[in-house]
Amino acid sequence: MTKNESAPKQNVSKKKKRPIKTFFSVLFIFIACFLIYSSAHDVLMTVKLKKEISSHQEIVDELESEKSSLTKEKKNLENPEYVKRFVRGKYLVSKPGEQVFILPSKNAAADEE
């Protein structure tokens, strides 16, 4: 009867260990899922931020280009000869006794056809 008495004890001890193994298995799965979710969230956030950075970099490049052209125009407007040519060409300002003629451009002739 020693064999019969020891067999039920082994089954009881195996049944007690299984809930602990199950608990740790579920805990491990939960932790793994949490880490995967966190990693995926971080990757998606990184991709989103890189897109924002590239779009903002394009805006910065456009503004720098506009700044350089405005700086060049400011420098030109400090030159009195440039200002005279600019005003005469754009606003058709003439000197006293001078006549201004507007000639059609090649683009205007192509548009009429």
What is the count of structural domains for the chain?
A: 1
The pLDDT-based confidence of 112 (bands split at 50, 70, 90) is: low
- What does the block give as tokens for 89? 């060409």
State the Rg of the chain over Cα.
Answer: 41
| pTM of the complete model | 0.50
pLDDT at 21 over 60: yes
Rounded Cα distance between 83 and 100, Å, is: 17
pLDDT of residue 9: 57
pLDDT at 1 over 50: no
* DSSP-assigned letter for residue 98: -
The secondary structure of 43-57 as a DSSP string is HHHHHHHHHHHHHHH
Q: Which domain holds residue 17?
A: 2-112
| Residue for token pair 């420098």 | 75
- What does the block give as tokens for 107? 């683009």
